[in-house]
Structure 1
């Protein structure tokens, strides 16, 4: 499992990449295990909680569409062998994301976490995001232009994505005992939520039927250094529809999250795989999208649509 920092072409501080495939095929759902424990929650203190709340309230004054919700916290990932990975997860919240990874306050928390808990990441929310490079049947990748009201990356080009939701696993997940956290059936439910959320985000953002999407393939993990290592799991999803069919469905505008984007852009697979994109495109892309493209290039030397 290769880990390295990469200076992206979009002008930000760069990204950290965890490549799970080492140049081989991506990781399938059945090859992924979950280690869920509240020991992996972010550490906090009363003064940290108060600061985060103040940051959140200020953000909500300027954006009444923000709402707080539980998220899975990414603690780390490891490979058992070439065919199996384990993802360590705890719980955090969207409010803590906005108040830590997405705020200069995060820099202070890196120092505090290092001094108090011997880990620079211990006080950061680090919620696990998911994103997908969606490849149409005519070999074009789809990117969304994010709406200006969204909490992150306003106006940027991004791959479809979001967060797996703990409440979809169980509304009582926050009160699970450690024994319940480690039950095989509960770990399986979390894994299914992570992989299913990838397809659901595509459905809700682009208006594609789930049956048109193949099961997501995990390419790796991307951390945005500009957001103190904010993590996202990046996937490849193959679609049975052409780009024109996808565009027609998107333009209907009846999808659940239609207001999160203001348009779509298709980029040829061979140009994405060859990193042969105009500078204007690179500067428009989010860190996560740049990382997903890099991971895709490390996994594929030819289009997966080829027979």
Structure 2
């Protein structure tokens, strides 16, 4: 019997799941939400009310799932565009049931007038046969306090990139192949940001199916299986350090595979799961799950030993040769030298202009080894960077504006010595960041907050005694996309 909060929209026919190469996407305005005359006023009013209650909510473009069809061994997705604001004003509105009834009558489709943003979730399987669940924070917009799996949304803005810099994302900005890549890679990004796991430890996602959340009028989520080469103890340690979205959860829970398969029947934890997690567990427990691999191969990247190859020697590499920069970072970290026989890095030649440096920096910072780098104290005005900026996302800005930047359990807050688009290779800031917070380093130094420069040019600071850079040290905040503009600091 199916739980009343969920339904299964697509169930993958093979125990192996569906791989990225078996999925096709079609994007068209025909697959956008149908508009009800006058509904914009209601949606805006609903959004204003929600923002007053939860000021950290933010709007953003999302993919709208119109329909999905199994075709042979593959899956065809029909996608439009929508936004989070419309989701809150339709799927989550008190009148959602009325909109569904009107959709049935007008278009023969109960979801026709709903935003229907596509979500993603991961059944994350550790090397010691445990699955990862997260206790959601009370400050999130959906299912606060519930138990969930790592997940979120694929982002049209990531696919559009610079082509959408002058305005909203358009359907023609979104090549179908890259949309599929974003759907699959977004679930890994969510694991990385929520659980703080290096991409090199994660397998290629396989799609288990698509489940609907009936508590939000049938909103659909693509549920994936991802295995991890770390044990639950190692995952817990990494989670404790904190990722970019650490604020979205308050605790991590591990459930054995045997218990996951009977979770619905056991009742206890099942009642605490949010519907999206129930859908993922249901799809996995139906028996359509891949064989467990305690040593998964990392997703779509070439897995290499630090001593075996350089990224510029890999097939498809078109970026600059970075031998000197790589050697600088490598030699600056004795711990990496000691462990290089056991460490394997991931390289994504298409998206990372300096992958070797970025991979090393990410591994070092994730595992708390920055203290072993040769850090140069920034003491003299002549040594200070002209700009020191922290990259973040619009959804985090309200909390940062109130409380300041936090090192989130790590050793340092990371700052980039410049802004995206300045022309130079930029270390210390992700390419898809939406906000840059520029820090008044001179003022912070004068107040006793130390700053350092790492071997690869990242500016690091431990912050004050509480591990913070309070808002009083913010010079300005820039929204980077879709159009660059100043954000208010107060």
Cα separation, partners in 2 of 1:301 and 1:219, compared to 1, 3 Å: closer
- 4+ runs of 1 displaced by more than 6 Å? none
Give the structure 2 partner of residue 232 of structure 1: 221
Residue aligned with 2:65, SS: strand
Cα deviation 1:15-42 (Å, max 9, x = unaligned): 1103432353200111111111111000
Give the structure 1 partner of residue 119 of structure 2: 129
Cα separation, partners in 2 of 1:212 and 1:116, compared to 1, 3 Å: same
Give the structure 2 partner of residue 70 of structure 1: 61
Give the structure 1 partner of residue 151 of structure 2: 161
Unaligned runs of 5+ in 1: 1-5
2:255 is the alignment partner of 1:264: no
Give the structure 1 partner of residue 184 of structure 2: 195
* C-alpha distance in structure 2 between counterparts of 1:110 and 1:276, whole Å: 28
2:96 is the alignment partner of 1:106: yes
2:199 is the alignment partner of 1:204: no
Give the structure 2 partner of residue 147 of structure 1: 137
* C-alpha distance in structure 2 between counterparts of 1:301 and 1:190, whole Å: 24
Cα deviation 1:101-122 (Å, max 9, x = unaligned): 1122211211222233332211
CA-CA distance at 1:278 after TM superposition: 4.2
Residue aligned with 1:299, SS: coil
CA-CA distance at 1:227 after TM superposition: 1.4
Equivalent pair of 1:23/1:300 in contact (CA under 8 Å)? yes
Aligned-residue Cα RMSD (Å) equals 1.9
Give the structure 2 partner of residue 96 of structure 1: 86
CA-CA distance at 1:174 after TM superposition: 3.1
User: What is the TM-score normalised by the length of structure 2?
Assistant: 0.57
Cα separation, partners in 2 of 1:245 and 1:104, compared to 1, 3 Å: same
Higher relative CO (Cα under 8 Å, sequence separation at least 6) belongs to 1
* C-alpha distance in structure 2 between counterparts of 1:302 and 1:259, whole Å: 31
* C-alpha distance in structure 2 between counterparts of 1:277 and 1:117, whole Å: 38
- Structure 1 or 2, whichever has the larger Rg, is 2
Equivalent pair of 1:20/1:26 in contact (CA under 8 Å)? no
Unaligned runs of 5+ in 2: 296-490
Cα separation, partners in 2 of 1:152 and 1:225, compared to 1, 3 Å: same
CA-CA distance at 1:300 after TM superposition: 4.6
2:133 is the alignment partner of 1:138: no
Deviates more, 1:261-270 or 1:38-47: 38-47
